[in-house]
Chain A
Amino acid sequence: MKTLLIIPAYNEEQNIGNVLDNIRQIHPAVDIVVIDDGSLDATLTVAKTKGVTVLTLPFNLGIGAAMQTGYHYAKVNGYDIAVQFDGDGQHRADQLEALLKPIECGEADITIGSRFLSKGVYETEVARYMAIRILSRIISFLVRQKITDPTSGFRAVNRKVMHFFCDYYPDDYPEPESLVLLHKAGLRIVEVPVLMEKRLIGTSSITLFRGVYYMVKVILAVLIDMMKEVPRR
């Protein structure tokens, strides 16, 4: 099946080169599109020298709209599967197979790579971890299905979800919010255990306050999403 890796990148000149090399090493043939979300640094140049397709947005649209650009590109170019892959080095190319399998078998419309389902030890800041746990409970309740890693951006989708995301993709907190919209549309979500790298952001940047603040904003956004009109697919 024709598969596309979508990598949104905003000021990722430090990481994007390694990320692309890494993917190429393990999957030499897979199509890759980098969405340069109006980066001010050399992200565009670095990505282009690696020989991948780069879509350049005229100005910074934010992660949601940048990701959606990739889905539009996948739809226009007739891809069967689109994969979301982070440009910051958090996601591992060797975990891609696990993500693709349920889609290729037709068992899922979207798969989500969960770091909490896997046996690997995933070290993270306590505040961030707590926020994800609580969010996981709330999202699981809303979508009537256990979701262990609602903020994971390591995802693969089939054509049905690709088309859905072209019409409905949240701007603010796309990962948790899209789960609610997918559920309302009646699409099949499957979580897959994957290993992830620790974020390369150095020291802990998420304080307890910011963790709580993030969580409150996401919960509000998700509750509003629950009220939205979404046609079933």
Chain B
Amino acid sequence: MTKGGARYNSSGTACIGLADITDSMMVIKKLIFEEKKITFPRLLDAVNTNFKNDSKLLAQIKNKMVLFGSGDEEALAMANRVTKLAHDIFIEHENYRGGKYTAGFWSMSNHVAFGTLTGALPSGRLAGKAFTPGLTPEPHASRSILDNIRDVAKLKAENMNNNIAFNVKVVPGVQETHQKNVDIIYSYVKTYSDLGGMQMQLNVVSSKTLRDAMEHPENYQNLLVRISGYNAYFVTLNREMQMELIERAEFNI
């Protein structure tokens, strides 16, 4: 079938947890190296014990760190450094067809499965919890979805040559007209593309609805949600995946 050689022979990879890694690196950079507020052994001990004996450090990380997706230039630079590292390592390797390995940043539902197998991280993500889906920022990175959108749009596309998945959950206001909701979402997507973004996927649903669907699946047989690169019927997902969707950042429109 490939006799004569296919023009594009690459193999794609999918990297999970860009925001988790970026935010963890920022904690190490800021708290240990720059501000010298904590030591490596203290952080290591906190991570090894799932922050059980160091709730103060966990609070400090959760509330006072600038994260990827907050509009902070340094955090964005760190995210670009991480994607470049992954890209540069993969591209050096050749697959059995003689093609290159490309770096992608999307997770299907694996960010949940892999999360259950992984211990705590310097970012304050606790053991067993899901990683961030695709390359989506942490829910508490910013109160404004615009910061998320701008940061993701500014990630360098050349480092993400096996594409990305950027998940956004928006909740329409009860008082808003359908037209206003459509206009606002249009503006998010249009601006994201104008700024250089290449992919985003939206769930327009509230956590309240999703919780109700967990309790009364019989009423929500047709509720379709976007996971991270594909759609699924919410009621058919396992509990961990359902919880991850609920815990995603929720922005009111």
Q: Do A and B come from one complex?
A: no
List residues of chain B with CB under 8 Å of any chain A CB. none
List residues of chain A with CB under 8 Å of any chain B CB. none
